[in-house]
Amino acid sequence: MSFFLGLDSSTQGLKAEIIDLGAGTVICSESVNFGKDLPEYHSPDGYLENPDPLIKHADPMMWAAALDLLFSRLRQQDAPLDKVAGISGSGQQHGSVYLNDKFTEIIAGLDPDRNLQEQLSPALSRKSSPIWMDRATSEECRELQEKFGERFQRDTGSPAIERFTGPQIRKFMKEDKPGYSNTAHIHLVSSFMASILTGGNAPIDFGDGAGMNLLNLKTLQWDEDIAEFTAPGLLKKLPPAVSSDTVAGELSGYYRKYGFGSAVPVIVWSGDNPCSLIGTGAAEPGVAVISLGTSDTFFAARRDFKTDPDGYGHVFGNPAGGFMSLICFSNGSLAREEVKKDCNISWEYFDSLPENKTIPGNKGNLMLPYFSAESTPVILKPEVKYHGTAEFCAGEADSEVKIRCILESQALTMRLHSSWMGETFTRIRVTGGASNCTPFLQILADVFQARIEKIAITDSAGLGAALRAANALAKVPFAKLFEQFTAARQIILPDPENAAIYDSALKKYAELEKIRTIGLRQFEPI
């Protein structure tokens, strides 16, 4: 009997998936929602309120408290934690945790009679953690870009990006010099969570490390010059960068109180997108993934690495080896939720968009859905632009028209900004909460003229983490794990008759976007 646990520390909560390798099934899932279950952290959406809309920080103690709560819930539901043979995890990417020189000693001696948050808080050298939604580092991005020019993107896989960890660290170093010099360790969400599980400073894997603007993808080592310019002495504060199948350590004795056995190995954690690449069974080139979560991401495995000439796309490490290309659209569910609110309808209604009330192409109605700051294209000042019929632009169209509009516009922006990958994907796997919206899946099929495959489990990041643990520890090849765990549950075929409609909608959408952005990635608010 081989059970493996995958944890998924995302923007809005922490989830667990336990897989049974013998049966090829997920036997147990559990979750904690930060807003609902840990209201004392004042983070209804997973981050702290800030008067500056560009600043998005979270309390890292909330992530630690969620771990205690999740494990006690698993114990309450009699999950077979005593039989778990290995653990790995997935973390929201780019977020960073700043710790002082007490951290190592504290995690090595965790006392099971006291909770994690109480023990870990004296180890913080910065009270809050900037997360991937933070956009307050335009100045630092400009400085890094000026210093390193084209080499920056060529070697790290991305130009300097506001939410990436390097620019965030530089901003902290500039604004709080004593805080920075008090910092002995800087972890990603992924390596922080792995550290508190193992009781030792855990390494950062290539998948998540590539989202820092610090990892040289040619050497797979931290880039010394970039790290030193980002913040003096940074290299000493970073954990080592390692491949995604590395054992980070054994589960700390602290967690025995939840029923775990002894000497349970913990595989290094990775980022949510690299984990989803595994959890959707898309680790080989040729199939793309659309993950419809708080942000929408479009990604695909590749053997070589190719950078986006427009500077929006990224290259991360693929946990199964090689690389993955990724584009992140920050206004994913955030934008869908705004439209849902505007229409005053339920998700059920949204997800079952009546077919006879609208038509593909939606009579030319389109929107640039920047309800909040956007990464692709870079929009720092939220603003929504409408285009189409007078009724629609006046906000008076029927709900169905508005819903189709956000979904078609989001599908079009994904097609537009994924073209640099240079591949025509005929198969796309979808995952995430909004993959339950069947009309959206049909729109994606028609816009991309691709077969859309919805996988059974919505938490592909947590599943991917469990599969990574099984691959690294039980030595089961990924191809076999994908057969067992990632079969498609629903397949949506494209309607060739809609191809031309969306080709011309794409042209229109590109024109509209150009009015807002000047093609290449900008560091200034436009």
Give contact residues for ligand XUL (rule: CB under 6 A).
Answer: 11, 92-94, 132, 163, 211, 271-273, 293, 295, 297, 328
Is 92 or 436 the residue whose CB approaches ligand XUL more closely?
92
User: What's the CA gap between 213 and 151, in Å, rounded?
Assistant: 11
Closest CB 327 distance from ligand XUL, rounded Å: 8
Is 212 or 287 the residue whose CB approaches ligand XUL more closely?
212
Closest CB 299 distance from ligand XUL, rounded Å: 9
Is 92 or 201 the residue whose CB approaches ligand XUL more closely?
92
Closest CB 175 distance from ligand XUL, rounded Å: 22
Is 274 or 439 the residue whose CB approaches ligand XUL more closely?
274
User: What's the CA gap between 336 and 353, in Å, rounded?
Assistant: 13
Q: Count of residues for the chain?
A: 526
Is 272 or 400 the residue whose CB approaches ligand XUL more closely?
272
User: What's the CA gap between 90 and 397, in Å, rounded?
Assistant: 41
Is 248 or 328 the residue whose CB approaches ligand XUL more closely?
328
Closest CB 148 distance from ligand XUL, rounded Å: 20
Coil, helix or strand for 491?
A: strand
Closest CB 12 distance from ligand XUL, rounded Å: 10
Q: Are 469 and 475 contacting, i.e. CB atoms less than 8 angstroms apart?
A: no
Q: Pick from 202, 205, 526: which is nearest to 370 by CA?
A: 526
Of all residues in this chain, which one has the CB nearest to ligand XUL in the complex?
Answer: 93
Closest CB 378 distance from ligand XUL, rounded Å: 13
Is 294 or 471 the residue whose CB approaches ligand XUL more closely?
294
Closest CB 426 distance from ligand XUL, rounded Å: 24
Q: Which residue has the tokens 């796997």?
A: 429
Q: CA angle at residue 36 from 33 to 41, to 5 degrees?
A: 90
Is 293 or 433 the residue whose CB approaches ligand XUL more closely?
293
Q: Are 431 and 402 contacting, i.e. CB atoms less than 8 angstroms apart?
A: no
User: What's the CA gap between 279 and 272, in Å, rounded?
Assistant: 10
Q: Pick from 328, 135, 107: which is nearest to 239 by CA?
A: 107
Question: CA 379 → CA 88, 387, 524, distances in Å?
Answer: 35, 18, 9
* Segment holding 179, helix H or strand E: helix 177-181
Q: Pick from 246, 497, 240, 524: which is nearest to 381 by CA?
A: 524
Closest CB 489 distance from ligand XUL, rounded Å: 22
User: What's the CA gap between 120 and 134, in Å, rounded?
Assistant: 24
User: What's the CA gap between 404 and 360, in Å, rounded?
Assistant: 8
Coil, helix or strand for 87?
A: strand
